[in-house]
């Protein structure tokens, strides 16, 4: 990323003007969207175009950064060391007792039959001397297969993240989403072995997506379940695709968000438990973010013989949204890192606690190294 590219982002930030910079998984180009004023724009019906940032609860409005100026530049990966342990000692056990009791409470709720699964989260506060722009470049370098972003609005704040999970992709009337569950640490040369708890959790998410969309879409296809790596973690992934028919984005999003991968089942009962018991506000953590209704102008040669030297245009309307996992919020020199995990009847509290510690390493490696 060139100095001029970064300078424009830093100047925008210093002037207190909204922007977002991001790179999609397995791509080399970083896109930056600048908004020319400090106005706070909200989504009304998902027909708008811009970069959307949506909170977890589904009740607070989604924020839109307008595409007043867009620049794109390739980011060349710098040589880096393989995954390693943190070089700073950190007291990650400060809220362990509360979190273990919260898991016990959730398991009791599950045993009573009120819910099947609930995703519980917590946050870790760390001080850092790094600038957000250095951390963003570190994210780009360390997580080339994730959706990496830095997002700022003066009336909301500054967020960074590297998420492995697609929430929803659409191209005209086609859509694709995924279910992602289960977490294991990556170890070189070893393939993950998934236990029954993790496989059941994955199946819950897949079935929820299918049942939520079956009356909204057609030609649903569900892929084979596979293991997928995100940084130093393994997950289980299933892709789901089809056609949107007459349903609009608003209806599809309302049916899916928040998915059991970040909330639980049944959705409303699990969300109520989370909001009542987690004892903090997730804000944009486990919401979703990304490109909303971007137009792509395609020119292709005509296939007709009498027009073989001419070209015709097609306009694609594309949306690319990602679940806001593996993220952090910057508050001055303090960083708030968000992590969580799915709780089912087979959950063991100590193991669930360890899973959140494993997941926190994604952002802690950026903040502390």
Tens of pLDDT along 190-243?
Answer: 888 998 888 888 888 899 999 999 888 989 999 999 998 877 788 899 999 999
Q: Give CA–CA dist 366/359, Å, rounded.
A: 13
pLDDT tier, 82 (very low <50, low <70, confident <90, very high otherwise): very low
Say what the pLDDT of residue 363 is: 92
pLDDT, residue 300, reads 56
60 CB-side CA count, 13 A: 15
Q: Is the Cα torsion angle 320, 37, 139, 355 positive or negative in sign?
A: negative
Each residue's pLDDT tens digit, 264-317: 999 999 999 999 999 999 999 999 999 999 987 765 555 555 555 555 667 889
Nearest-angstrom CA–CA distance, 64 and 33: 11
Residue 198: the pLDDT is 86
Record the tokens describing residue 71, joined without a space. Answer: 């620049």
Taking only the tens place, the pLDDT of each residue in 165-192 is 999 999 999 999 988 877 788 888 888 8
pTM: 0.89
The SS3 assignment for 73 reads strand
Residue 222 to residue 301: CA distance in whole angstroms: 34
The DSSP element (H or E) to which 126 belongs, if any, is: strand 117-127
What does the pLDDT read at residue 215?
Answer: 86
Neighbours of 178 (CB within 10 A): 24
Q: Which domains does the chain have, with CATH numbers?
A: 3-298+308-368 (3.60.120.10)
Which of 166, 163, 167 minimizes the C-alpha distance to 255?
167
Can you name the residues that pair with 282 across neighbouring β-strands?
none
Closest CA to 83 of 186, 179, 166, 158: 186
* Residue 247 vs residue 330, higher pLDDT: 330
Judged against a pLDDT cut of 60, whether residue 28 lies above it is answered with yes
Residue appearing with tokens 């880096």: 80
């Amino acid at each position: 990323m060139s100095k001029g590219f970064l300078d424009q982002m830093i100047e925008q930030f210093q002037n207190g003007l909204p922007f977002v910079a991001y790179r999609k998984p397995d791509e080399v180009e970083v896109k930056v969207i600048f908004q020319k004023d400090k106005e706070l724009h909200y989504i009304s019906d998902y027909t708008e175009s811009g970069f959307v940032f949506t909170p977890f609860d589904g009740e607070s409005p989604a924020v839109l950064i307008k595409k007043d100026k867009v620049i794109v530049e390739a980011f060349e990966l710098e040589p880096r060391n393989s995954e390693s342990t943190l070089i700073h000692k950190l007291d990650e056990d400060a809220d362990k007792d509360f979190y273990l009791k919260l898991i016990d409470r959730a398991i009791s709720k599950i045993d009573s039959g009120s819910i099947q699964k609930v995703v519980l989260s917590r946050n870790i506060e760390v001080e850092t001397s790094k600038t957000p722009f250095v951390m963003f470049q570190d994210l780009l370098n360390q997580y080339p297969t994730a959706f990496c972003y830095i997002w700022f609005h003066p009336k909301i704040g500054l967020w960074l993240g590297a998420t492995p999970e697609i929430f929803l992709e659409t191209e005209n009337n086609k859509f694709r989403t995924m279910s992602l569950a289960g977490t294991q640490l990556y170890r070189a040369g070893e393939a993950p072995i998934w236990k029954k708890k993790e496989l059941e959790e994955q199946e819950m998410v897949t079935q929820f997506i299918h049942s939520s969309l079956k009356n909204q879409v057609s030609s649903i296809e569900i892929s084979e379940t596979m293991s997928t790596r995100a940084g130093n973690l393994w997950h289980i992934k299933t892709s789901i695709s089809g056609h949107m028919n007459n349903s609009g984005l608003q209806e599809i999003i309302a049916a899916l968000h928040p998915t059991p991968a970040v909330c639980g089942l049944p959705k409303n009962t699990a969300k109520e438990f989370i909001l009542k018991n987690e004892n903090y506000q997730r804000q944009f953590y486990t919401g979703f973010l990304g490109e909303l209704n971007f137009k792509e102008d395609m020119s292709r040669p005509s296939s007709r013989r009498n027009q073989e030297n001419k070209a015709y245009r097609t306009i694609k309307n594309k949306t690319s949204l990602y679940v806001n996992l593996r993220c952090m919020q910057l508050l001055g020199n303090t960083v708030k890192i968000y992590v969580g995990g799915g709780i089912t009847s087979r959950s063991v509290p100590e193991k669930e606690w360890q899973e959140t510690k494993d997941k926190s390493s994604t952002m802690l490696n950026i903040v502390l190294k």
